[in-house]
Structure 1
């Protein structure tokens, strides 16, 4: 079950930082001009809580190359980083936070990855294209040298980084068309949404040329996510469903389709908006098996399994009232009333914030938790 937790008062608000930069990609010798915005509260208004924001420039080895502390005026500040001779070509990150955020959860830190190219070798261009098979991702890198220097048979070494750790490495030679192919197997367990490839080669013993290629945003296929928000109402009325459509680039997209029972009956159609979301209500039966058939904006079609419907005859109720997160479990099922054991877990921001084993007393369990103990956002119980 999902519930939105809002900040109850300013003293317990969680701050968030956003950094606006003047460009998406940079070259050595450029200056990164930045403007920082610090917000707080459920409405993300400019925060009056912190007096300073801390911004760091981090290289691909996770080393802090530069850092700056900026004074906030009405929640905003401006500053810059110079990409001078101390910096190398490659993938960099800008990380930003306030002191208040450091005392809480790093999940709200601003963290952006971008590429810095080598100005000494602007004449050597490289382009990445990706194709996917059932068991591997093929990364084809095409090198183009306008100076007409032959790149054929030039030895290339490469590293694949995932979540800032090197997970795949190897070497090979550029072919007669200027192409170099890297194969990333599914068994390599590379998180494509937070990964990049770095290649190295040298010509005639000159300085090594380094090229970096982000993999973030590449998906094997379109994706349809289905969530049942209140399966406690199964066999007793309508259930709220969330249908979420994602394109190959990881962004939300339009999709249309239908939810079908195991006997082929169409339970309900759905059509996501530009935001990739739809919220149908349907009458689910726990003994049935369901599937979703979807057609995406690019014309591709696919079938997705429906989440397994719980057969447990109990009700889970969650509410956020007056600063308290109230959780109630109750049942009229005799077996559960006599020996009803549950584990309650609350997940927010990809982390488990609360976990506890509980037992029903005469078919009931109730607990009240302080909302301020959880990060602002959506929590799943």
Structure 2
């Protein structure tokens, strides 16, 4: 569908909409006509204008493969579109990516620049930032934050440790039906990576509920490697995991238990349109979710107050389904549900309302129209009320009509062609603009077709593979567009292209629904069962509808769209007044950047057109008319990132739990690949060489000399830390730094005895709560001045507040002196009578902090200077494609390439064609080729293909 055709469709839609309103007008008395017609047109105008002015954005990322190992690289392509048109986004040109671990702590944040809504990059899974475990990627734009983080792009994946020596573990968990002592039975089968059982081995088991340790126990495996035991479940326990460790500690594994007790299955019922109304038929959707957050298969019956069965039901897909019910006045309905494991449980259905309306929509996949019906109770039919029926898609009103319900019900056949592809949202509201009923349906369209024409039927190992991509629209015409392609080896990567999220399910379905959507790709698989399952999904998860309050009372967006990377802020005087016309300098050390500008009348400054920098660190300085920074304050606009701490993501199990052969092979190859990094081409192991360069901190008052300390963190370390507080910086970086209560030796004067007034000095043990480094009390020295002697720090709380008040960017470096080698000079300087032996003096660790101002504990920010460390920008890198010769195929190490090829920027020409090539690996196998992308008019395509390498 080209741009001109879309404009004609919009004109057609507007004419159709106006005609509907005029036709509906004749159903009413003349006195009501003009105000209702005007009001409905006004609602349409408000809704459409709000959407055009403040349209949200949708984001989708394609990845090269579904799971990774330490040392791997994640290759990704970003598609950002306008939510209303699905054209490439024109508001934002920067996407933020946060990667959080299984504790929801963000371990990596960066941003990527976009052009025409497209961008691509890579993430190195190095061991300095990542460990084996579960991670969730959150991707969003600053503008998307105005609409809530439920609509961010989210993806959870597991990273395995490439060099892990773990077992392969088969897990079986079943609940024990003992209501007095809730517990589960756990069966764990331990095998080595060759499949041999770990026979008769003692294993230390520790059981945790999230971060709380419950208990530990040592058990021995049986002759077939089995541990069979029960676990008591404390009240409210969640996030149950077990760690298993061998007797000598050489093997360790973490096994999530994933409690899925049937009695804790959550079952909810959702009447179509919102309510059960007496005397009106109802379609009721239901959704059952297990304790693990996934859909649970259920069945059951609906009974009335007389316990007679009035309806039966059974889930169709992922715990969801629907059934019809004749709702009777004065009845109360109960669902008797058969849960997994054979447990029966009862759930009440929503209460029956005496009066009201229902909205029903039948979406037959084989029909070109929607059957929409509105029904009302007799008391409403007798009143001359009028209603508005509005159908919206992507925030735009596509259908609107004025209805009266004098004939008990209204039926309408509404053409699907007036709606774009994706979710359409119907609302029945009163003439006073109060929504009564809502219903979501999915409008399916023929997507753009992606075909792959390979030049050969079969390829040999090491062959150059040439592929021709052919893309057409629903009429067979060629499509010029932008696509990304991943090629993976089936021997190492198991793909689930039928159920996994793709660009269609991501941008047309998942991005419009709140909450977790399990197997999103399944719903658009174009089978009759998938169509029914999709309607059930929208009956349940789409039950909470559009917020019309935002249309009638729009709010001012909090977050602004970002077109480019820029640095903005303001300059003020000592009275916090704006300073206009003052010079502001921006400079960077690496790479060398020097820019200047002048503040406007509001004291604002802007630096744009900045050069490409991966990890920028900028020093920004403001000077007054005299060229000095005295009495000048500077502040850079920095927006706090979203807080994902409360987000609960689904947690895939580690690779070694209930693994199939593909995952096991991938893990082994990942380990072998890591080992190959240490070998020369001839196969000789390189000797490990450790190079240690002393870190020097300029301006340090270290009594041993700059850099002479047990631990040193220099200016580069501070720049990496950014806005972290001193306390966070010390906790995360200084080895052995922690808050604790410790027993220490202190001096105390006691009477000498014998009736004398003399005293004697004794050393006693006492407990103090403080900060320690490797068991030694931390003493803070700021620019050579002891902290608690310079300012009053009477309590531990005061010290904590002080350390939390200052940021890492305020200082140049930290030197930790805790060993006898480096603490002696500090003992002599800061301890009275240092020449008198006192073992208590050895229980201190001295933390020397050098600030940028060099003024000691009283320092503030350096006047007129601001250290600004924005998020790193990820610039695209080229995926390496090896070229082979006949000589290369002989006497070389085994090649390990889970991702054979990654092409993030494939552009089809006017004929809808593009040529792609890559070299096949050196082993016979099958490859999965996944291609996704879009034309420039809001149409998407996704396809998967197989090719064979070598073999018969």
Give the TM-score band, short-chain normalised. Answer: 0.5 to 0.7
Q: Would you say 1:309 and 2:416 are equivalent positions?
A: no
**Normalized against structure 2, the TM-score is what?**
0.29
Farther off after superposition, 257-266 or 243-252: 243-252
CA distance in 2, matches of 1:238, 1:247: 29
- Residue number in structure 2 paired with 1:289: 332
Paired residues of 2:304 and 2:331 also in contact (CA < 8 A): yes
How far off its partner does 1:299 sit? 10
- Residue number in structure 1 paired with 2:262: 220
How far off its partner does 1:254 sit? 7.3
CA distance in 2, matches of 1:181, 1:319: 62
- Residue number in structure 2 paired with 1:172: 217
How far off its partner does 1:238 sit? 0.8
Matches within 5 A, 1:132-211: 132-134=175-177, 135-146=182-193, 152-161=201-210, 166-167=211-212, 169-177=214-222, 178=225, 179=227, 181=229, 183=231, 185=233, 187-190=235-238, 195=239, 197=241, 199=243, 201=245, 204-206=248-250, 209-211=252-254
Q: Which of 84, 95, 107 lines up with 1:53 in the alignment?
A: 95
Larger Rg, first or second structure (1 or 2) = 2
Structure 2 unaligned residues grouped into runs of 5+: 1-46, 359-386, 391-395, 398-426, 437-512, 516-547, 558-952
Q: Which of 414, 421, 434 lines up with 1:327 in the alignment?
A: 434
Bigger relative contact order, structure 1 or 2, given CA contacts below 8 A and separation 6+?
Answer: 2
Paired residues of 1:90 and 1:212 also in contact (CA < 8 A): no
Q: Which of 54, 70, 88 lines up with 1:12 in the alignment?
A: 54
Paired residues of 1:21 and 1:33 also in contact (CA < 8 A): yes
- Residue number in structure 1 paired with 2:321: 277
SS of the residue aligned with 1:85? coil
CA distance in 1, matches of 2:311, 2:242: 47
Paired residues of 1:231 and 1:239 also in contact (CA < 8 A): no
Q: Would you say 1:78 and 2:120 are equivalent positions?
A: yes
- Residue number in structure 2 paired with 1:354: none
SS of the residue aligned with 1:215? coil
Q: Which of 93, 113, 118 lines up with 2:136 in the alignment?
A: 93
RMSD: 4.4
**Normalized against structure 1, the TM-score is what?**
0.65
How far off its partner does 1:153 sit? 2.3
- Residue number in structure 1 paired with 2:68: 26
SS of the residue aligned with 1:107? helix
How far off its partner does 1:99 sit? 1.1
- Residue number in structure 2 paired with 1:102: 145
Distance 1:149-1:309 versus aligned 2 partners, 3 A rule: closer
Q: Which has the higher helix share?
A: 2
CA distance in 1, matches of 2:63, 2:79: 11
How far off its partner does 1:231 sit? 7.7
How far off its partner does 1:196 sit? 6.4
Q: Would you say 1:240 and 2:282 are equivalent positions?
A: yes
Q: Which has the higher strand share?
A: 1
